[in-house]
Structure 1
Amino acid sequence: MGLLRSTALISSMTMISRVLGFVRDMLLARVFGASPATDAFFVVFKIPNFLRRLFAEGAFQQAFVPVLSEYREKNTRAELKDFIDHMFGTLAAVLIVVVGLGISAAPLVITVFAPGFSDDPAQRALAAHMLWITFPYLFFISLTAFAASTLNAFGRFGMPALAPIWLNISLIFATLVAAPWFKEPVMALAWGVFFAGILQLFFLLPFLARLGLLPRPRFGRHAGVRKTIRLMIPAMFGASITQINLLVDTILASMLMVGSVSWLYYSDRLVELPLGVFGVAISTVILPKLSRAYSRTDHGDFSGTLNWAIKFTVLLGLPICAGLVVLAQPMLATLFEYGSFNAFDTHMVALAMSAYALGLPAFLLIKMFAPGFYARQDTKTPVKIGMVAVAANLIFKAIIVLPWMFLFGGYAAHAGLALTTAMAAWVNFGLLAYFLKKRDAWQPDPALWLFLRQVLAATLVMAAVLLWLRPAAIQWTDANALTRIGWLVLLIGGGAGVYAISGWLAGLHPRRLWEQLKNVQ
């Protein structure tokens, strides 16, 4: 299956999940709004998700897939299955220990991840109680990521991309059906997260069984497991830099105005849409291909795959970035401004969303360049770069956010947190690209720079037209839901049309563009 077709498959499956995710978030906003209780839930929800990305979708996947690809290329089927069994057993054992420690130390974990909650004992106690329920989610979702990584390595991309649908279904059920039965309604969301992990794991296991790769946990020393762990330990930091920076935002937001954690959550959700639909899809598809190219020492295929990923990412990422910045308030008013979620919440989320969106191209390109290192089984360089990015993030916050809080009394300081995280992402991406090129692993396509200029020109024209066309914020607040939806659809459709025409005039002719994007198989 070609890269374009595989990416389209993952994107379409992910889009189904993301649409349900927006339904979920619209219900959360309408039913729960932005309150101390929702701030507590979003912090609690972020903790196992952060660790999941550390253990599973981040470090583990980046270390496991290259080793699995190597076993698939060079070893027998029995040796491959033995490696999968030992890896599954080892991962499960480690997760049991981590989950046990997390549950036993829940109040301390809350203090570390949300120190601002210490000023409100009731909020801190609620968060600790929810964490006892949600922390086992880490066990199930990390094993789900193991199953998804194995399926991806064998070219089965669809069902792993669809699996997150069960998280959204579970939380929607918790919001609409279970919440009224709880003394503290937000507790239903914690149980929704718990059951979502179980549903996602058991959704994927039958597909592994069809390949004859259903793991039977085995323990003991194994060369492949040791190699994966050796690659994973530094990758635990390098693959999760973006998440670490976002986590720093949550920690600091817990010390700001009530609602700041929730505002950052909703803004991050919209920026995560293109990251999930396109960024993760492309990254997932290219990692096995890059790993196989490196195993064959095929430098041309390696570099060609990266160039394809860059073009595809920029073609979609730049206009989406501009759209999220320009249409932040209309999108949020249409999706969330109902019930307990008011116009002030919309304004605050829009500020953070626009700031995060400025870093969207960097977030996307990091997902293209980081696999270039992991496929070469180099996990140390991204760690060093990641340390620089985290340091840059903290320096930016000291330079921008602290004076902001002093001058404006903390008003909208959460937007400053988002802006500095976006800036750190550009530092991270720039260093990844520089070192991959310096080591001759990546050679930019001769036509790449012209392509970038053409896409940028079309994006700027589209942004200018949208700025001119969008109604004032007060008109969105006063309009009913159907009117908001109609305006938003017209703006997005019109923006896409302007982008397509501007791109064509800039030289991005459809036939030539198709040839560039479909030629990597």
Structure 2
Amino acid sequence: MWRKAASVGGLTLVSRLFGFVRDVMMAAVLGAGPLADAFMIAFRLPNHFRAIFAEGAFNAAFVPRYARALTREGEGAAKAFAEDVLALTLAAQIVLLVAALIFAPTVVALLAPGFRDDPGQLHLTADLTRITFPYLLLISWMTLIAGVLNAHDRFAMAAAASILLNVCIIGALLMTGLFPTVAHALAVGVLVSGFAQLGLVVWDMRRAGLSLALRPPRITAHVRNFLRGFGPAVLGSAGVQIAMFADTILASFLPTGSVSYLYYADRLYQLPLAVVGIAVGTVLLPELSRRLAADDLPGARDRLNRALEGSLALTLPFVALFVSAPVPIVAALFGRGAFDQSAVEGAAAALQAYSIGLPAIVALRCVTPAFHASGDTATPVKALAFATIMNVALKVALVGSFFSAGLAFATAVGAWANLLILTWLLARRDGFAPDRRFLVTVASLALGVAASVAAIRWSLGIAAGMKGLIPQFPDFAPAVVIGLIGAAVYAAVAGPGMALARRR
């Protein structure tokens, strides 16, 4: 499992590195002003719907059922099921796309009501949204093919597809002179990347000897079973997106740049989530599905324990760094050009708040597949409903005093509430039972994080004296020193305990 996760995580890391190059270029050119806010929202809108209807909900409902059909009925039945789901998906996405193209100003006004007072900002965002929204149809198609590849133990190209998004946006940034504004160039880059990502997974599918034909939509017994799982999964994914919609809506009323602060903070805390949480979750879902289909409950519990402890071990160093030194990290990565000191401080405050919930968000990527693998997509929805209510209520309560950082902190609290509820419910049905190795590992990791936070706080003064050693990147050396000290202390303190846990 970890070999496959390493493959997905490694390619995701490459994508994130290209993503940081993209974000550094965007920050330097766009900064955190009105043009940046317009593009961020135009980019967020198809991604909100993508998270609802494509990756999260779709994988939860499709992958276990495809894997079950493949295991029990053979490739022919699994292929027919995938083709029927693809036909239904494309039909629904075409309807949604036409509606979005026609009613783009209304959609933007609903999701960013603060823009209504600035007609120029509203119409610019709507124009950009019309360019970016077709990306949703392309990426939904790509997600289905990726699910098929994952069920056949092919993870590499599906994971590598996201690299193309960043490559296309970087290419668009290098050709901004061909477009009315930088934001228009970025929007076109997003659209082009959708075609590129779809093309990559289609090529890999054919290389694997697989194919999916386009056919008219039809509702078969397998499709009805898929829809029964997909409905609750959509509600679950929608819960997360409701909280993100609330961020967009509330941030549109905050001072200019607030939407961008949340975007850049999100990009940083999404690094461990993508490289660790999403990679492990992607591999864990088909793994648990196969074990549960074979009635191997002890094996499934063991895989979940190992996934949780490994995910936390790789995530907690980032938590220590982001909580203890957010300003040097944001300054090193984005603090240049149009991204001034006030933008650095705004994004750093949001990053610090987000990072409090990072362990919970990563752990959810392991716990939630344990429900989905058994065909239960309803229970995570019930847990998420409570967490979403708490999340949105906190956002409304905190945004007036803490601005974008308050929105990020509410997200963190909601994630912890969701994780605690799901873990308790999973333990009640014997799907999760922490063993001795898990408990010793978690205790060791907690000590490592505490020591790392103390070391990072101590190193801030030393690192500040190194500012300017690299003239072109004056904040880079301090951030590297802080990061290396924190990682070294974490490994030195947590490592022995983890090694002892593995031996027992």
Correspondence list, 1:251-290, <5 A: 251-290=249-288
Judge which range, 266-275 or 230-239, deviates more.
230-239
User: What are the residue-to-residue correspondences of 1:354-503 with 2, within 5 Å?
Assistant: 354-402=352-400, 404=401, 412-471=402-461, 480-503=471-494
Q: Kindly indicate whether the alpha-carbon contact (under 8 Å) linking 1:52 and 1:142 is maintained by their aligned counterparts in 2.
A: yes
C-alpha distance 514-163 of structure 1, shift in aligned 2 (>3 A): farther
Aligned Cα root-mean-square deviation (Å): 1.8
Paired AA for residue 143 in structure 1: W
Classify 1:140/1:514 alpha carbon distance in 2 versus 1 (closer, same or farther; 3 Å). Answer: farther
Q: After superposition, what is the alpha-carbon deviation per residue over 1:256-283, rounded to whole angstroms, capped at 9, x for unaligned?
A: 0100000100000000111110000000
Partners in 2 of 1:504 and 1:77 — Cα distance?
44
8 Å CA contact retained: 2:463, 2:481: no
TM-score (norm 1): 0.93
Query: How far apart, CA to CA, are the structure 1 residues paired with 2:503 and 2:2?
Result: 11
State the Cα distance separating 1:399 from its structure 2 match: 3.7
Gaps of 5+ in 2: none
1:86 paired residue among 84, 87, 93 = 84
Which residue is equivalent to 1:194?
Answer: 191
Q: Deviations over 1:168-195 (max 9, x none)?
A: 0111111121x22323331111111111
Aligned equivalent of 2:212: 215
- Structure 1 window deviating more from structure 2 (348-357 vs 365-374): it is 365-374
Give 1:76's match in structure 2, choosing from 74, 77, 81. 74
Partners of 1:365 and 1:429 within 8 A in 2: yes
* Structure 1 letter corresponding to 2:483: I
Question: In structure 1, what is the Cα distance between the partners aligned to 2:440 and 2:288?
Answer: 25
Name 1:407's counterpart in structure 2: none
Map 1:138-217; keep pairs closer than 5 Å: 138-177=136-175, 179-217=176-214
The structural deviation recorded for 1:14 is 0.6
Q: What SS does structure 1 have at the residue aligned with 2:436?
A: coil
Distance 1:473 1:486 in 2: 8
1:20-99 → structure 2 map (5 Å cutoff): 20-99=18-97
In structure 2, what is the Cα distance between the partners aligned to 1:74 and 1:26?
49
Asked if 2 retains the 8 angstrom alpha-carbon contact of 1:239 and 1:382, the reply is no
- Asked if the contact 2:322–2:355 (Cα under 8 Å) also holds between the matched residues in 1, the reply is yes
Letter in 1 for 2:254: L
Which structure 1 segments of 5+ residues have no match?
405-411, 517-521
Task: Read off the aligned partner of 1:204 and give its amino acid letter.
Answer: V
Distance in 1 of aligned mates of 2:341 and 2:473 = 17
Per the TM alignment, residue 132 of structure 1 is displaced from its structure 2 partner at its CA by 0.9
Cα shift readout 1:34-76 (whole Å, capped 9, x = no counterpart): 1111101101101101111111111011100010010011002
CA deviations over 1:319-355 (Å, ceiling 9, x no partner): 2211122221111111111111111110110000000
Q: In structure 1, what residue type is equivalent to 2:173?
A: T
Structure 1 stretch 482-491 or stretch 269-278: which is displaced more?
A: 482-491
Deviation of residue 474 (structure 1)? 7.4
Do the aligned partners of 1:329 and 1:473 also contact (CA within 8 Å) in 2?
Answer: no
User: Matches of residues 328-339 of structure 1 in structure 2 within 5 Å?
Assistant: 328-339=326-337
Offset at residue 77 of structure 1 (A): 2.0
Aligned 8 A contact 1:62 1:239 in 2: no
Distance in 1, Cα, partners of 2:349 & 2:406: 9
In the other structure, the counterpart of 1:292 is 290
- The 1-side partners of 2:361 and 2:315 are apart by 10
Matching residue's letter, 1:203: L
Alignment partners' CA distance in 1, 2:238 and 2:288: 20
Q: What SS is found at the alignment partner of 2:54?
A: helix
Contact 1:330 1:473 in 2 (8 A): no
The structure-2 alpha-carbon separation of the partners of 1:477 and 1:391, relative to structure 1 and needing over 3 Å to count, comes to farther
Aligned residues: 502
Whole-Å separation in 1 of the counterparts to 2:435 and 2:392: 35
Whole-Å Cα distance in 2 between the matches of residues 378 and 273 of structure 1? 29
Q: Aligned in 2, Cα 1:216/1:164: closer, same or farther, shift over 3 Å?
A: same
Structure 2 Cα separation of the partners of residues 243 and 463 of structure 1: 31
| Cα gap change, 1:272 to 1:504, in 2 (>3 Å) | closer
The question of whether the paired residues in 2 share the 8 Å contact of 1:58 and 1:240 is answered with no
Report deviation, 1:246: 2.5
C-alpha deviation, 1:514, in angstroms: 6.0
Rounded to whole Å, the distance in 1 between the matches of 2:495 and 2:386 is 39
